[in-house]
Amino acid sequence: MRLWALRELRETAGRYAAGVAVVAVVAAFAVLLLETIEVFVRMLATTDMGDAAPVRAALTSVGLVFLGIAVLTAAIVISGTFATVYAGRRRDIALLRLVGATSAQVRRASRIDGLAVGLAGAVAGIAAGILISLGAIGILNASLGIGLEFAWTPQLVVVPLVVCVAVSALAASSGAKVVARVSPAEGARSDGGGTQLPAAVARGRGIAGVVLFVVGGAILALGLIAGLVSPFGLLIAFPGGVLSIVGVILGASALTAPIVAAVTRLLRGRGEYLLAGANLRANAVRTARTIVSVLIGVTLVTMFTVAGEMYLAQTRAYFGDAVEFEAVAQFITVMLVVVYVLTAFSVLVAAIGLGSNLSLSVLQRQREIAVLRSVGLTSGQAQRMVLVESVVVAGIGAVLGLALGVLYGFVGANSTFGSQGFSGPVLSPWFVVAVLGGAVAFSVLASLLPGRRAARVHPAEALRDA
Amino acid sequence: MRANEERAVVARGITKTFGSGESPVQALRGIDLEIGAGSITAVMGPSGSGKSTLLQVVAGLDAPTTGQVWLAGQEITGMRDEQLTLLRRERLGFVFQAFNLLPSLSAEENIRLPFLLAGGRPGADDELWIAAVISRLGLNDRLTHRPHQLSGGQQQRVAIARALATRPAVIFADEPSGALDSASGDEVLGLLRSASTEYGQTVVLITHDSRAASIADRVIRMSDGLIVDDFPGGTAEQIGERMLGVTE
C-alpha cells in the first residue's frame, strides 16, 4: 500500500500542486510572522524601552490567531483537494479493495500522500520565507539606514514544519475518508457516478452543520449581549464564531445546493450555459467545496473591514472631529492595513483553492468533455462552460461571504466596544462593489487555464476504452 | 451533388502516422473507401488493425496525415476545428462502447444534446421526429432518469436516440454492443438495423465481433492499416468463416 501511495503520488503529482502551494504559503507566512516578531522584540530590547517579554507575548498571541486562520483555511483547501483527487481515483481504490486492501490501508495510503505534500510544501515555504525575510531586512537596512539583523531561532523551522506536515496529513486522511468506504464491487462496475456523497453521510453532515451553526450563533448572541457591559464579550463571541463557521463548512453542500439550483436555473439561452449549470448541480459536493474556499476569503476580509469601519465610526462619535480623533483614526487605519496584510495570506490560500478545484474538475471530466466535443461542443463553448462555472461559484461564495463577514464583524465590534454604545453594522457600498468585482475578476482569471485545458480535449478521446 | 449524396463517406489515399522520429507508427497505410448511403457497413479487424483510427479520420474526430475525406458530399479535410465541430453536431451521430452519456443530464437532455449545444429549440418538425424516435426506442418512461439510473442497454438506447435525433447523414457506432450482455447487445444491434431499414439511416459499425457484423449489408476487413477484404454481409457464421479464411 505504501508503495502504491508513493507511486500514485509521483504519477499524479500535478493534482497535488495546489496542496503543496497552499502549504508553502502557510509555511512562508509562519516564518515571516515569527521572524518579524523576533526582529522587533530584539530591536526593542536594545533600545531599552522596557521589558520585551510582555510585548513578545502579545505579538505572538496576535500572530498565532492569524496563523491559525491561515492554517484552518489551508486545511479546508487541502482536504478538498484530496477528496476530489480521491473521488477521481474511486475505481483504482475499488480495485485495490477487490484484491484485498482494507479500508484502513487506503486511509493510511492517503496519510502518506498528505505527509509528502506537507513536507514538500513546508520545505519550499520555509526556504521562501527565510529568503523573503533576508531580502526585506536588506531593503529596510539600505533604505532606512538601520542595522537590523536576521534573527535566527530554531522555531523558525520547527513551528512551520510541524504545523504544515500535521495539518496536511490530517486534512488528507479526512479528505480521503469517504472514498475509503468505496465498496470493492465498484471495481467491476463502470459508471461515471460523479462525486456524490452517500446520502446518509451527506445528511449527517448537513444536520451536524446546522446544529453547529445554531449553537455557534447562540454563543455569538451571548457574546454580543455580554459585550454591552464588558469588552471581554469578544472572548465569548470568538468560539461561537469558530463553531458557526465550522458548521457552515460542514453543512456546505446542504446550504449551497438550493442556492446553486436556483441560480443555475437562470442560465439559459446557450448550450454551454445549460451544461455549466447541470455540472454544478450534479456535482453538489465539489461545487460546495469550491464555494467554501471563496466564501472563507471573502468572510475574513469583510469581517475585519466591517469591524474596523464600525470602530472608526464609534471613535468619531466619541471624540467628535477633534484632533484626538485624527490620531486615533490614523492608528486604526494602520492596524487595519496590518490586519489586511495578515489576512492576505489566507485569501491567497482560498484563491489557490478555487483554481485547483476548477482544474481538478476539468481533469476528471476529460472523458465527458470528449463526448461533448464529439457530438458538437466547440472548443470555444468548452472554454466558456468552465468560465461560467467559475463565475457562478465565485459569485455565490462572495455573496455568502459578505453576509457572514458582516455578521461576524458586527458581533465582533459590539462584543468588544459595545459597552461604549451599541452600533449597527457599517458596510460601504464601494467595499461590496470591490469584493464582488474582485471575485468575478479572479474567477475569470482562475478559469483561464482549466478552460484552455477543456478546450483542448480531443474529441477522439471519447472513443478510448475506459 | 446527387452522386455525392448517394455516397455518405468517401476516403481517398488516407494514411495516418502517429509519432515521429525513430519509431513512427503507421496506423493507416493507404485507404480508399466509398460507403453508400442508406446501408450498414461493418469495419472489422483485430485490435491494432487500424479500424478505430479509420473511424476517427472518416468521422472528422482526427485529421489524416495524407489523403482526403468527404462526408455527405462535403470535403472535411482541411476544415477548421469549429466548422468540423458544427458538422459533427448537425450531420453526424455517434454511439460509443461506453460512457456515451453526460452523467449530469437526464436521458431526455442527453437525447436533445445536439440541439442543446446549438442553443436553439428544435423546430416543430424536429420535435415530431424526436418524439417518434423516443417512442420507437421505448424510452418514454425513462426520460427523466439520469444515466446512472439506467441499465447498460438502456443507456445505449438513449445514445442511439441521441444519434438519430438530428437525422444525421451517417451514424458511427464503435463496438456499440461491446460492453453489454448478449441479450441487450442483440437488442441494440437490432435497433441500429431497424434504423437503417425503416429510416434509410447510414450506419458505419466498427467491431471485432462477427455476431455484431451480421447486421451489416457490407463487411470491410482491415489488417495492419490496410483494407484486406470487402464483401456483402451474411450470418455471423459466414462472416466468421470468411474472417478465418483471410487470416490463414
Q: Across the interface, do B117 and A462 touch by the CB < 8 Å criterion?
A: no
Task: Provide the pLDDT for residue A371.
Answer: 92
Lowest mean pLDDT among A238-242, A361-365, B31-35, B140-144: A361-365
C-alpha–C-alpha distance, residues B106 and B93, integer Å: 19
Residue of B nearest to A371 (CA): B100
Which residues constitute the domain of residue A101? 1-181
| A230 domain-assigned | no
Contacts of A376 in chain B (CB under 8 A): 85-86, 88-90, 113-114, 117-118
A 10 A CB-CB count for B21 gives 5
Q: Does A87 touch chain B (CB under 8 A)?
A: no
Residue A30 has pLDDT above 70, yes or no: yes
Task: For B118, name the nearest residue in chain A, comparing CA atoms only.
Answer: A271
Domain assignment present for A223 = no
B12 forms bridges with which residues in the sheet? B68
Q: Would the CB atoms of A376 and B86 count as touching at under 8 Å?
A: yes
Last residue of some domain: A147, A181, A215?
Answer: A181
Determine the residue of chain B that is closest to A193 in CA distance. Answer: B148
Q: pTM, whole model, 2 decimals?
A: 0.84
Residue B8, SS3 per DSSP? strand
- pLDDT tens by residue, B24-57: 888 999 999 999 999 999 999 988 899 989 999 9
Asked whether residue A411 falls in the same domain as residue A300, the answer is: yes
- Nearest residue of chain A to residue B121 (CA atoms): A269
Mean pLDDT in consecutive groups of 10 residues from the start of chain B, 248 residues: 66 90 87 93 91 92 93 90 92 87 92 89 90 92 92 92 93 90 90 91 93 93 92 89 70
Q: Residue A376 is nearest to which of B89, B99, B102, comparing CB atoms?
A: B89
Considering the four listed CATH numbers 3.40.50.300, 3.40.50.1100, 3.40.920.10, 3.40.50.150, the one that applies to the domain covering B38-56+81-247 is 3.40.50.300
> What angle do helix axes A323-364 and A366-374 make, rounded to 10 degrees?
70
Asked, for residue A317, whether it belongs to a domain, the answer is yes
Is the minimum CB–CB distance between A144 and chain B shorter than 8 Å?
A: no
Nearest-CB residue to B119 (from A271, A372, A462)? A271
**Helix, strand or coil, per DSSP, at residue B99:** coil
User: A 320-339 residues with CB below 8 A of B?
Assistant: none
**Cβ count within 10 A of residue A269:** 10
Which residue is associated with the grid cell 467628535?
A: A320
CB contact under 8 A, A281 and B88: no
A199 Cβ under 8 Å from any chain B Cβ = no
Taking an 8 Å cut-off on Cβ atoms, the answer to whether B56 and A275 are in contact is no
Nearest-CA distance B110 → chain A (Å): 10
Q: Bridge partners of B44?
A: B207, B221
Domain residues of chain B, as ranges?
A: 38-56+81-247
CA separation, residue A345 to residues A160, A221, B124 (Å): 14, 29, 57
Which chain B residues have a beta carbon less than 8 Å from that of A278? Answer: 102, 104-105, 109
If one counts the domains in chain A, the total is: 2
Flag if B88 and A466 touch (Cβ within 8 Å). no
Cβ of A190 and B100 within 8 Å? no
Do residues A129 and A32 touch, judged by C-beta distance below 8 A?
A: yes
The answer as to whether A337 is a domain residue is yes
The answer to the question of residue A229 being in a domain is no
Q: Give B208's contacts in chain A (Cβ within 8 Å).
A: none
Is A247 part of any domain?
no
What average pLDDT does the segment A325-339 reach?
A: 82
Whether residue A110 is found in the same domain as residue A12: yes
**Residue of chain B minimizing CA distance to A376:** B89
Whether A161 and A274 share a structural domain: no
The residue ranking higher by pLDDT, A86 or B65, is B65
Q: What number of C-beta contacts closer than 8 Å exist between A and B? A: 103
Which chain A residues are closer than 8 Å to B113 by Cβ?
Answer: 372, 375-376
ipTM of the complex as predicted: 0.89
pLDDT of residue A179: 67
Cross-chain residue pair B88–A378, CB shorter than 8 Å = no
- The answer to whether residues A274 and A150 belong to one domain is no
Question: Quick one: what percent of chain A has pLDDT higher than 70?
Answer: 91
Question: Residue A369 falls within a domain, yes or no?
Answer: yes
Average pLDDT of chain A to the nearest whole number: 84
In the predicted model, is pLDDT for residue A18 greater than 60?
yes
Query: Residues 6 or more apart from A68 whose CB is under 8 A from it?
Result: none
Name beta bridge partners: A395.
none
Angle at A279 between CA A205 and CA B120, to 5 degrees: 150
Domain stops at, among A181, A200, A229: A181
Residue A375 sits at the chain B interface (C-beta within 8 Å): yes
- Domain end: A125, A148, A181, which one? A181
Residues A297 and A426 grouped into a single domain: yes
- CB contacts of A389 in chain B (<8 Å) are none
Q: Which residue has the higher pLDDT, B114 or A52?
A: B114
Q: Which of 117-176 (B) contact A at CB < 8 A?
A: 117-119, 146-148, 162, 174
